[in-house]
Structure 1
Amino acid sequence: MKLTILFGGASFEHEISIVSAITLKEKLTNFDLTFIFCDSDHTFYLIEASKMKAITFSKGEYKKMPTLELSQGSFVQKSMFSKKEYSDVVLNLIHGGDGEDGTISSLLDFYAIKYIGPRTDASVFSYDKVYTKYLCDAIDVKSVRYEILTKSEHKDITLSYPVIVKPARLGSSIGVTIVKEESQMDYALDTAFEFDETVIVEPFLEGVKEYNLAGYKSNGEIKFSIVEEPQKEEFLDFEKKYMDFSRSEQVLKAEIPEELVLKLQTNFKKVYDGLFDGALIRCDFFVHDDEVLLNEINPIPGSMANYLFEDFATALEELSSSLPQKKRIASSYEYIHSISKAKGK
Structure 2
Amino acid sequence: MKLGILFGGRSYEHDISVITAIEVAAALKGRAEVYPIYAKDGEFYFVKGEMKLENFASRRVKKKKLRFCKKKGRGCVSVGLKKTVLDAVILCCHGGEGEDGRFSALMECYDFPYTASGPLASAVTMDKRMTKILAAEKGFPTAKGVVGRRSEDVIERAKGLKYPLIVKPARLGSSIGIEVAHDETELIGAVALAFSFDTDVVIEEVVSPVTELNCAAFREGDEVVVSGVESPKSWHEFLTFKEKYEGGKYKSGSNRIVRGNLAQRVGELTEKVYRAFELNGVARIDYLYDEQADILYLNEINSQPGSLAYYLFEEVGIEFSDLLIRVVNDAIRRASQTDIICFNSRVLDNLSALSQK
Tell me if both proteins adopt one fold, taking TM over 0.5 as the criterion. yes
Structure-2 residue corresponding to 1:5: 5
Q: Please state whether the residue corresponding to 1:152 is helix, strand or coil.
A: coil
Which aligned pairs between 1:53-72 and structure 2 lie closer than 5 A?
A: 53-56=53-56, 59=59, 61-62=60-61, 65-72=63-70
Displacement of 1:222 in angstroms is 0.9
Cα distance in 2 for partners of 1:206, 1:252 equals 19
Which aligned pairs between 1:1-345 and structure 2 lie closer than 5 A?
A: 2-31=2-31, 32-40=33-41, 42-56=42-56, 59=59, 61-62=60-61, 65-72=63-70, 73-79=74-80, 82-154=81-153, 155-156=155-156, 157-158=158-159, 159-233=161-235, 234-242=237-245, 247=251, 253-255=257-259, 257-258=260-261, 260-273=262-275, 275-288=277-290, 289-310=293-314, 311-323=319-331, 324-325=334-335, 326-330=338-342, 332-341=344-353
Q: Please state whether the residue corresponding to 2:66 is helix, strand or coil.
A: strand
In the alignment, is the contact (CA less than 8 A) between 2:212 and 2:287 conserved in 1? yes
Structure 1, residues 139-197: CA drift from partner, whole Å, max 9, x if none?
A: 21111111123322334222111110100110000000011122212221222112101
Structure 1, residues 27-54: CA drift from partner, whole Å, max 9, x if none?
A: 44444322110002x2111113425325
Displacement of 1:341 in angstroms is 4.5
Q: After alignment, is 43-52 or 205-214 more displaced?
A: 43-52
Q: 1:252 to 1:214 in 2, by over 3 A?
A: same
Cα distance in 2 for partners of 1:74, 1:247 equals 36
In the alignment, is the contact (CA less than 8 A) between 1:118 and 1:299 conserved in 2? yes
Which residue type is aligned with residue 308 of structure 2? M
Cα distance in 2 for partners of 1:114, 1:246 equals 32
Displacement of 1:342 in angstroms is 5.7
Q: Please state whether the residue corresponding to 1:223 is helix, strand or coil.
A: strand
Q: Please state whether the residue corresponding to 1:273 is helix, strand or coil.
A: helix
- Work out the percentage of aligned pairs sharing the same amino acid: 33
Which residue type is aligned with residue 311 of structure 2? Y
Q: Please state whether the residue corresponding to 2:144 is helix, strand or coil.
A: coil
Structure 1, residues 237-295: CA drift from partner, whole Å, max 9, x if none?
A: 2134326899565765314x32x223212221222116444321000011111011100
Q: 1:246 to 1:85 in 2, by over 3 A?
A: farther
Q: 1:132 to 1:13 in 2, by over 3 A?
A: same
- For these two proteins, the number of residue pairs brought into alignment is 338
In the alignment, is the contact (CA less than 8 A) between 1:245 and 1:303 conserved in 2? no
Q: After alignment, is 153-162 or 102-111 more displaced?
A: 153-162
Q: Please state whether the residue corresponding to 2:330 is helix, strand or coil.
A: coil
Displacement of 1:335 in angstroms is 1.5
Q: 1:17 to 1:46 in 2, by over 3 A?
A: same
Q: After alignment, is 193-202 or 246-255 more displaced?
A: 246-255
Q: Please state whether the residue corresponding to 1:99 is helix, strand or coil.
A: helix
Displacement of 1:344 in angstroms is 6.3
Cα distance in 2 for partners of 1:300, 1:94 equals 7
Aligned-CA RMSD value: 2.4
**TM-score with structure 1 length normalisation?**
0.89
Which residue type is aligned with residue 36 of structure 1? I
Displacement of 1:337 in angstroms is 2.0
Gaps of 5+ in 2: none
Q: After alignment, is 268-277 or 199-208 more displaced?
A: 268-277
Cα distance in 1 for partners of 2:66, 2:208 equals 50
In the alignment, is the contact (CA less than 8 A) between 2:230 and 2:255 conserved in 1? yes
Q: Please state whether the residue corresponding to 2:99 is helix, strand or coil.
A: coil
Q: After alignment, is 166-175 or 274-283 more displaced?
A: 274-283
Displacement of 1:213 in angstroms is 0.4
Q: 1:274 to 1:284 in 2, by over 3 A?
A: closer
Cα distance in 2 for partners of 1:246, 1:111 equals 37
In the alignment, is the contact (CA less than 8 A) between 1:246 and 1:303 conserved in 2? no
Gaps of 5+ in 1: none
Q: 1:185 to 1:246 in 2, by over 3 A?
A: closer
Cα distance in 2 for partners of 1:97, 1:110 equals 19
